């Protein structure tokens, strides 16, 4: 079943939003570098790679379903934050928005009885639970840490250990 125009447009929009998410996290990485928190910068760089892989998932689904991918301009991200807490609070808020948008695409797929799209989106529903939990968890640790510099550096060292993002799923081999 070919993807509908409405779903194709919604997924193209989400492809762009995933790349925008990656852009935000790379901007946060640069902020953390500028305030000498290399572990948090590393965590955000890995997050940026993950978002790019999410974008590729939407790219492939659109193509495999006979749709057309349209690349659009990526919005400029914020470049300064007043504290690590503000950055991670923004990251958590951003992930809530990503979840809201993905659910919206799910509603379109539901209304069209598009089971292939629903099956594809299921991975993202699960992923968003993790994304929200991760960003909320770090945000809450930063709240607890407050002005305690030594605790901040301990958290920074912990976040430096985040493993690299897995590669996006392989391209289908085609006919």
Q: Which of 74, 54, 46, 56 has its CA nearest to residue 134?
A: 46
Q: Closer to Mg ion at the Cβ: 69 or 151?
A: 69
d(CA 57, CA 87): 26
Shortest approach of Mg ion to residue 123 CB, angstroms? 11
CB-CB contact of 16 with 135 (8 Å): no
Number of residues forming the site for Mg ion (CB under 5 A): 3
Give yes or no for residue 54 binding Mg ion (CB under 5 A). yes
Give yes or no for residue 57 binding Mg ion (CB under 5 A). no
Shortest approach of Mg ion to residue 98 CB, angstroms? 5
d(CA 124, CA 110): 15
Q: Which of residues 102-131 bind Mg ion (CB under 5 A)?
A: none
Shortest approach of Mg ion to residue 115 CB, angstroms? 23
Instruction: Give the CB-side neighbour count of residue 47, counting CA atoms within 13 A.
Output: 30
Q: Closer to Mg ion at the Cβ: 54 or 60?
A: 54
């Amino acid at each position: 079943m070919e993807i509908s125009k409405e779903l194709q447009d919604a997924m193209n929009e989400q492809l762009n939003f995933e790349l925008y998410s990656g852009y935000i996290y790379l901007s946060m990485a640069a902020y953390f570098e500028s305030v000498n928190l290399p572990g948090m910068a590393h965590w955000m760089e890995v997050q940026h790679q993950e978002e790019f892989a999410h974008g590729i998932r939407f790219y492939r689904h659109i193509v495999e379903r006979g749709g057309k991918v349209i690349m659009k301009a990526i919005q400029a991200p914020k470049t300064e934050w007043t504290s690590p807490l503000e950055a991670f609070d923004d990251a958590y808020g951003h992930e809530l928005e990503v979840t809201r948008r993905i659910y919206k695409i799910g509603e379109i797929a539901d209304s069209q009885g598009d089971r292939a799209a629903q099956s594809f989106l299921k991975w993202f529903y699960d992923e968003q639970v993790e994304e929200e939990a991760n960003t909320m968890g770090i945000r809450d640790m930063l709240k607890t840490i407050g002005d305690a510099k030594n605790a901040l550096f301990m958290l920074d060292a912990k976040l430096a250990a985040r493993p690299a993002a897995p590669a996006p799923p392989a391209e289908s081999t085609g006919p």
